[in-house]
Amino acid sequence: MAGMIPRQFIDDLLARADIVELIDSRVPLKKAGKNYQACCPFHTEKSPSFSVSQDKQFYHCFGCGEHGNAISFLMEFERLEFPDAVEELASHYNMEVPREQSNRSPAQQKQDQKAYSQKQDDYELMAQISRFFQQQLKVASDKDVAIDYLKGRGLSGAIVKRFGIGYISDAWDGMMKVFGRSGQINQQLVDLGMAIQGDKNKPYDRFRGRIQFPIRDKRGRVIGFGGRVLGDGTPKYLNSPETRIYHKGQELYGLYEAKQANKQLTRLVVVEGYMDVVALAQHGVDYAVASLGTATTPEQLQTLFRTVKEVICCYDGDRAGRDAAWRAMDNALPMIQDGYSLKFVFLPDGQDPDSMIREQGQAAFETILDNATPLSQFLFEHLLTQIDMSSPEGKGAAVGAFQPYLAKLPESNLKDAMVTKLANQFGASNEIQLKKLHKNFANTTESTTKTKRTKITPIRLAIALLLEHPHIVEILPDPAILSELNMPGIPLLNTLLALCKQNPKVNGAQLIEHFRGQEAEKQLNKIMCIEHHIEAANAENTFLDIIESFLNKFLENRCNELFEKQRTVGLTNTEIGELHGLLSEQK
């Protein structure tokens, strides 16, 4: 009898296998977004609900629920036992199934280490450049021009320091003379958007004669810059291009600073420019962020709603501002659940947050925020102004106009209220219309929520991200950081973290394979099917945010336990020391 198939070989096999290629050779697939789809081979259907993810190396049918990795597919499709499925998959890739462990090539590990080191070098170089810009604000020969500009905008030295604002003189090589020490670094500066490749392969400064605003990620690392020209030059604002560490649609200027200034953020204000963020902070509104010159993207909105429950978009009252608000609202609709709100403020012509708060002060500006227009009111006002509600035709058109927007809203009290309000616009027949509208919108929602198999909780999201991006274990200072936590799902997460640490090249399909035949396999398969819409570039930060929330919850619970014991029987000296330490951690 043949011996056990080594676990290492199974991992290697799944690393080699391409599930899209494998399934496509048996069930023709068609590209559908980032995934592939077909009519399910495991049940009869007319419309394709069988989805295959190349990123996850995982398949799932939204109709019958079948799911798994490449080995699982062969077991189900070919009706094979596990060892035979492994043999079949191995033969597909001309691999011989061994009975002893095989060594992994160090080449891929070396390549990963090189990519990791490159990013660390990038962050360090950007930090050095940021410090250089800040120093130039103090020592440049024309520093007074920059200082006078900042003072003219009402900014103090303290606020300039908090946001790391700097300056670069109007010279072609002010930054390059300091940092362009070799061909390799020159290329790195070009790659990071700090320099532009000129004639004769000689790079020159991208930013010249500008106030420099460093853009930080959620961990405080400088990833790009926004430069405000002094004088009449163009463009007025110049931003870093997309780079390997900076993706503007996923970042929010000022979010790091807002979180540093407010340990318990309750709301965030989205404004259009860097100076708006800084000016608001100068006058006490230190919870503003800017969307970096883009319409507020779904990724940015996800970040906002992961941070706070109330988001206020503050835009100009002109057509462009209202169009930006409409796009933000449309992107936010799937995220608006009970307890979360998106509101809008439209400023008078000629005003921006900077000018308004300087003229009227913090209290008046925050009163405007307190009276912001709710999402529901903005939606109704925008759509109903385009419809003649005095005629039956207009009323019928209203239903069609609202349908795509209400269909995006998750089931909630807000959605019920909006449907009721829409029905009330129909006058005497509102009860009939209300039932009809509820039925119509419920049907639309039901068809979309069939795909929401598993509720997304923080622990499930953490596991889902780890399954998709196992390398994020490397950003944890200690993989055993959660070992003392007593929360549902933490033991499984800890096991996965340990597996990822042991094998830096493991993928999600391999991780799930480790649990074949165990109860955890079913849980992981369900989690692997979660559609969380978090981009790969955001995975690390999202994962860290979740881990931080777990640790904060643990500290809070342990403090409560010790306080309760102190009130009843008293604490030992050791426990008193522990309580003092926990309280300092929470400060």
DSSP secondary structure string for all residues of 188-248? HHHHTTSEEE-GGG-EEES--SEEEEEEE-TTS-EEEEEEEESSS-SSSEEEPPP-SS--G
Q: Is residue 107 scored above 80 in pLDDT? A: no
Integer Cα distance of 161 and 282 in angstroms: 11
Share of the chain above pLDDT 90, in %: 35
Q: What would the pLDDT profile of 336-375 be if each residue is shown by its tens digit?
A: 877 789 999 999 888 889 999 999 999 999 999 999 999 9
Backbone angles phi, psi at 210, to 5 degrees: -140, 150
Q: What would the pLDDT profile of 421-461 be if each residue is shown by its tens digit?
A: 877 765 445 556 556 666 666 534 433 434 445 677 888 88
Q: What would the pLDDT profile of 502-545 be if each residue is shown by its tens digit?
A: 888 888 888 888 888 888 888 888 888 877 778 888 888 888 88
| Nearest in space to 52 (alpha carbons), one of 20, 13, 15 | 20
pLDDT of residue 313: 95
Name the helix (H) or strand (E) containing 30. strand 30-32
Q: Is residue 173 scored above 60 in pLDDT? A: yes
Average pLDDT for 80-99: 80
Per the CB < 8 A criterion, the answer to whether 345 and 368 are in contact is yes
Share of the chain above pLDDT 70, in %: 88
Longest dimension (CA), the chain: 86
Q: Which residues contact 561 (CB under 8 A, 6 or more apart)?
A: none
Q: What would the pLDDT profile of 312-325 be if each residue is shown by its tens digit?
A: 999 888 888 888 89
pLDDT of residue 71: 92
Question: Which of 58-67, 110-119, 225-234, 397-406 is the least confident region?
Answer: 110-119
Instruction: Label residue 158 exposed, middle or buried (CB < 10 Å: 0-12, 13-18, 19+).
Output: exposed
pLDDT bin (cut points 50, 70, 90) of residue 469 is confident
Report which listed range, 82-96, 349-363, 570-584, is most confident: 349-363
pLDDT of residue 367: 96
Integer Cα distance of 509 and 56 in angstroms: 7
